[in-house]
Structure 1
Amino acid sequence: MKLVIGLGNPESKYSGTRHNVGFDVIDRLSESFQIPFTAGKGKYHFAKINWRNTAIVLLKPMTYMNLSGHAVVAAMNFYKIQRQDILVICDDLNLPSGTLRLRAKGSAGGQNGLKHIIECLGNDEFARMRVGIRLEDQPLSSFSSFVLGKFSEDEKKTMEKILPVCADAALDFSVNGIEHAMNHYNKPAA
């Protein structure tokens, strides 16, 4: 069994924001499999799907981004999932909009949801998919207002192209592992 976690903030006012791109990816997966999310045995919502004989739990922490680790640990304990079987999907301000980067492990890189998961797990040895949200000419005087801001119409078009790729990459990770997914989906930014 694999656990694919999309990071975001749970309130509806955060829907459509750059910070909720992790939710957007797993929402796309849930919709494509026509499996709705339901409340879990912790502060999370989940949907269970099967893809190529692999059970996959899609997880949306219902904590705020900065406390995502609590929901991740609760789900890992409930489903008896090991660290090597999780993939965390989050936004990344350091990557250009419309790109993705898969890694087997690594630092939080300034992403507070990842930071809290690392704190709760005790190390950074879990797979993650970072989805780029940086705009080329965007001055970033306030990181929080930018990441919590809604996508512009142009950004929405870019996201509509990358979200299906991210969903496919999450399925690839689930069936073939992080190395295969990295080799297939990590491409240099254009």
Structure 2
Amino acid sequence: MIVGLGNPGREYETSKHNTGFRVVDELAKRWNVTLWQNRMDAQVAQADVDGEKVILVKPQTYMNNSGQAVGPLMRWYKLEQADVYVVYDDMDLPVGRLRIRKNGSDGGHNGIKSLFANGCRDFIRFRVGIGRPLPHRDVIDHVLTPFPEDMLPEYEEGLKTTAVAIEGCLKVGVDVGMNRYNPRKKKKTPKPEETAEQRTEETT
């Protein structure tokens, strides 16, 4: 089950907080999914991906109560928590950057807090960066508004990258997927004046 977190309603369609919805919509487009049903306070659709049934979910409870839809759906479909992928926005990551994790805290995200409160904690996390607000902007205003035009290409590329990563994790497993799709740490470039002995000393 792939869950995208967001807020229902046209006024929130392009907001940063609807990143999860937009990734799920991208997957639906890739998989030619057009039939959505209302079930347990969510829009739900099914896809056949390489012979495996995948359930797409967009909770309609508003972000802060997402778990009220996700928890019951997980139990309805008799899914293990590790079979639930959750996609959501993250202010602690640069715009468009993806980070996949198998566990962790709620990170202050109200949607994730709601999942925890409704019996879903050990799910797979696909966090997509939306960056921090500017110093003069409020956090709520930041997440509930769209990106400016100049930042859209980077953000939209991140949505597509996340959809590709989800497809990859379905095929090769989350452990391999994390290694393949998580950003790699940049290696330190030694200064020209450093000797081999100095670099060795720094790493011992």
* Larger Cα-atom Rg: 2
Q: CA deviation at 1:189?
A: 7.3
Deviations 1:73-97 (A, max 9, x none): 1211221111010010000001000
How far does residue 166 in structure 1 lie from its aligned partner after superposition?
0.5
Is the aligned partner of 1:166 residue 2:166?
Answer: no
Shift of 1:140: 6.0
Preserved CA contact (<8 Å) 1:37 1:45? no
Say what the alpha-carbon RMSD is for the aligned residues: 1.7
Task: State the match for 1:8 in structure 2.
Answer: 6
Q: Is 1:125 the counterpart of 2:114 in the alignment?
A: no
Which residue matches 2:142? 146
Identify the residue that residue 186 of structure 1 maps to in structure 2. 182
- Partner SS state of residue 131, structure 1: strand
Tell me: higher relative CO, structure 1 or 2? Use CA pairs within 8 A at least 6 residues apart: 1
Q: Structure 2 vs 1, CA of residues 41 and 98 (structure 1 numbering), >3 Å: closer, same or farther?
A: closer
SS of the residue corresponding to residue 40 of structure 1 reads strand
Quick one: distance in 1 between partners of 2:171 and 2:35? 21
CA distance in 2, matches of 1:66, 1:37: 26
Deviations 1:33-56 (A, max 9, x none): 221252233100112112222211
Residues 65, 113 of structure 1: 8 Å contact kept: yes
What does the per-residue CA deviation read over 1:44-75, in whole Å, with 9 as the maximum and x for residues that have no partner?
01121122222111100011000000110121
- 1:160 is displaced (CA, Å) by 2.1
2:53 to 52, 55, 59: 55
Give 3-state SS (helix, strand or coil) of 2:58's partner.
Answer: strand
Distance in 1, matches of 2:28 and 2:139, equals: 30
Q: Which runs of 5+ in 1 are unaligned?
A: none
Q: Is the 8 A contact 2:5 2:58 kept in 1?
A: yes
Q: Which moved more, 1:74-83 or 1:35-44?
A: 35-44
CA distance in structure 1 between the partners assigned to 2:41 and 2:51 by the alignment: 28
Q: Which runs of 4+ in 1 moved over 4 A?
A: none
Q: Distance in 2 between matches of 1:78 and 1:11?
A: 26
Give TM-score scaled by structure 2 length: 0.85
Deviates more, 1:30-39 or 1:61-70: 30-39
Unaligned runs of 5+ in 2: 187-204
Aligned ranges for residues 33-48 of structure 1 at < 5 Å? 33-48=31-46
Alignment-mate amino acid for residue 156 of structure 2: E
SS at match of 1:72: helix
Match of 2:129, SS state, is: strand
